Amino acid sequence: IGFCEPKDAKYVAEAIMVTQRDFGDRTNRKHARVKYTTEDYGPTWYREQVEKVLGKKLGEPKPYKFESRGDLYGWHQTDDGLWHCGCLVPIGRVKDHWRQGLGKIAEELKGGGGFRMTCNQQVLIADVPTSKKAAIQSLLDQYKIAHSNETTHSGMRRNMVACVALPTCPLAFAEAERYLPTLVGKLEGVLENCGLKERDIVIRMTGCPNSCGRPSMAEIGFIGKAPGTYNMYLGGDFVGQRLNTLFAESVTEDQIIERLTPLFKKYSTDREKNEAFGDFLVRTKVVKPMVAGRYWWTIPEV
């Protein structure tokens, strides 16, 4: 809806949330998000409200393009000379050797550096001075904390997200956090046979329709219906600008693998250059594109 300078970003974000607080639909959970408020009132109106709260005008929108929404793994250096290392912590659960290793790294970082949690349930070891980089790398290797393409196993594993579900959440109908790594492990075998193991594919799972695992934004999404049973959604785009579409209802693990295997095989041979899996499914009409969020809860003809 507009452009702001980096120094104003947090104030613009606050103004967006205040506008949603005052005008969003608080009576219907399925219609309670910023995107629906924007759709109901129009982007021009929403911008005017944000500017009113902000106390000044936004600049005119500038061209932009999202190419990825995943995390950066491995070491990266920023302009301030500090180093940052993205690490894979499956589904964000710090346990076993991850807990021991990150604990040792925390001790090493005393006096400089720290941890940041990402929105994809991973960990970023941040603000590491050059003098400590080698010691941190040694600990990463010692405790086998995945932080590179070679150690994160697959593109799908690098892009999996799940809600906590059972046994923690009383709303869950099915497993998510405890089960998705197992399912991904079985799908990795299929992907390797198709030559797609390193291909980034976004897969997400949630234990109930409240969708805390954000499955609607995945190229492959699952919503729990009962223990071991899920609705399966396909066709979201890789960068998160198109929702997916209901593909199959009440499927079990065997049925999931049975349905995805021929799609992976076809994707491996028929995809266009740099075409993501979700875009391929839409282009080849495996599913229809989800053109608006208000249609997501309907049952489409796929």
Residue 250 phi, psi dihedral angles, 5° rounding = 50, 55
Report which DSSP code applies to 3.
Answer: B
Q: Which residues contact 123 (CB under 8 A, 6 or more apart)?
A: 86, 87, 89, 94, 102, 115, 116, 117
Block residue for tokens 């390193």: 198
pLDDT for the residue 59: 95
CA angle 11, 13, 16 (to 5 degrees): 110
Provide the residue-wise pLDDT of the chain in tens; the chain has 302 residues: 899 999 999 999 999 999 999 999 989 887 898 988 999 999 999 999 999 999 999 999 999 888 778 888 999 999 999 999 999 998 998 988 999 999 999 999 988 889 999 999 999 999 999 999 999 999 999 999 999 888 888 999 999 999 999 999 999 999 999 999 999 999 999 999 999 999 999 999 999 999 999 999 999 999 999 999 999 999 999 998 899 999 999 999 999 999 999 999 999 999 999 999 999 999 999 999 998 777 777 766 55
> Please, what is the end-to-end C-alpha distance for the chain in angstroms?
33
Measured on CA atoms in the order 186, 191, 192, 198, is the torsion positive or negative? negative
Which helix (H) or strand (E) segment is 123 a member of?
strand 123-128
285, 30 contact by CB (below 8 A): no
Cis amide bond preceding 167, omega within 30: yes
pTM, 2 dp: 0.85
Residue 252 phi, psi dihedral angles, 5° rounding = -100, 175
pLDDT for the residue 35: 86
pLDDT for the residue 31: 86
Tell me the β-bridge partners of 247.
none
CA dist 284 and 186 (Å) reads 25
CA dist 42 and 168 (Å) reads 39
- 203-206 sheet: strands from edge to edge: 160-162, 203-206, 220-226, 229-234, 245-251
CA dist 217 and 28 (Å) reads 20
User: Hey, what long-range contacts does 107-112 have (CB within 8 A, 24 or more apart)?
Assistant: 108/132, 108/135, 108/136, 108/139, 109/136
pLDDT for the residue 301: 57
Angle, helix 96-108 to helix 130-142, in steps of 10 degrees: 160
Closest CA to 203 of 256, 168, 171, 158: 158
